[in-house]
């Protein structure tokens, strides 16, 4: 894996980073896209609640209103449950009056690294918005870690072998440049059952 260290923040990023609350990488990424499009922000907790946010008992004190469970409710771990029909993002956006539409390309349809890179180039060329959902153990530590998942905002294709994304995790740099093959492996490892893949967000006309 390769991570670029910047002496200053990138001057060609398409996004202003925001930092997530615990277990709220998905809502934080949605907020980052909303901010880019001048859509009035909705609190992370509110977005998360409509996406099925569930946390362990020891984390409940950090939230105003949250579901609590002794065990993760889905294989991707604690956090949101967008793979559950009840918490599908388009339903949440409608309830919250957020003018975005959510579609996905799951990992099983991304056959090779070049497929992923071609999709991301298309997103960047039209200044579109895409989130990347993967197994963070594979990406950051080189090993599969069950009951974990992470989501970031795709920013730019740097070259044929590197992708830059915006990471809302408070313990990670806000911009990270990663080898495309490692990102591909992390997406594939997360699988369709955990919504691993590319998530597209588009604004409603």
Q: Give the domain ranges of the chain.
A: 25-203
Residue-level pLDDT at 38:
97
In the 3-class helix/strand/coil scheme, how is the chain assigned residue by residue? CCCCCCCCCCCCCCCCCCCCCCCCHHHHHHHHHHHHCCCCCCCHHHHHHHCCCEECHHHHHHCCCCEECCCCCCCCCCECCCCCHHHCHHHHHHHHCCCEEEEEEEHHHCCCHHHHHHHHHHHHHCCCEEEEEECHHHHHHCCCCCCCCEEEEEEEEEECCEEEEECCCCCCCCEEEEEHHHHHHHHHHHCHHHCCEEEEEEECC
Residue-level pLDDT at 125:
98
Q: How confident is the model at residue 90 (pLDDT cuts 50, 70, 90)?
A: very high
Q: Would you say the pTM of this structure is higher than 0.75?
A: yes
Q: Does the structure show a pLDDT above 80 at 155?
A: yes
Q: Does the structure show a pLDDT above 70 at 120?
A: yes
Residue-level pLDDT at 9:
85
For domain 25-203, the CATH class is: alpha beta
Q: How confident is the model at residue 74 (pLDDT cuts 50, 70, 90)?
A: confident
Q: How confident is the model at residue 204 (pLDDT cuts 50, 70, 90)?
A: confident
Proportion of the chain above pLDDT 90, given as a percent: 90
């Amino acid at each position: 894996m390769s991570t670029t260290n910047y002496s200053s923040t990138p001057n060609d990023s398409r996004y202003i980073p925001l930092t997530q609350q615990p277990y709220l990488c998905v809502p934080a990424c949605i907020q980052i896209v909303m901010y880019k499009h001048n859509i009035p922000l909705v609190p992370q907790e509110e977005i998360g609640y409509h996406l099925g946010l569930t946390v362990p008992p020891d984390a409940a004190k950090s939230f105003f209103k949250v579901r609590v469970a002794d065990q993760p409710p889905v294989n991707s771990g604690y956090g949101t449950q967008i793979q559950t029909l009840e918490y599908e993002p388009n339903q949440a956006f409608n309830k919250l009056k957020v003018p975005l539409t959510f579609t996905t390309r799951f990992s099983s349809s991304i056959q090779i690294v070049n497929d992923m890179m071609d999709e991301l180039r298309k997103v960047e060329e039209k200044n579109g918005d895409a989130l990347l959902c993967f197994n963070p153990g594979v990406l950051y530590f080189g090993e599969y870690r069950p009951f974990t998942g992470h989501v970031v905002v795709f920013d730019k294709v740097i070259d044929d072998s590197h992708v830059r994304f915006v990471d809302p995790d408070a313990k990670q740099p806000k911009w990270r440049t990663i080898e495309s093959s490692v990102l591909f492996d992390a997406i594939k490892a997360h699988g369709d059952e955990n919504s691993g893949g590319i998530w597209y967000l588009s604004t409603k006309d």
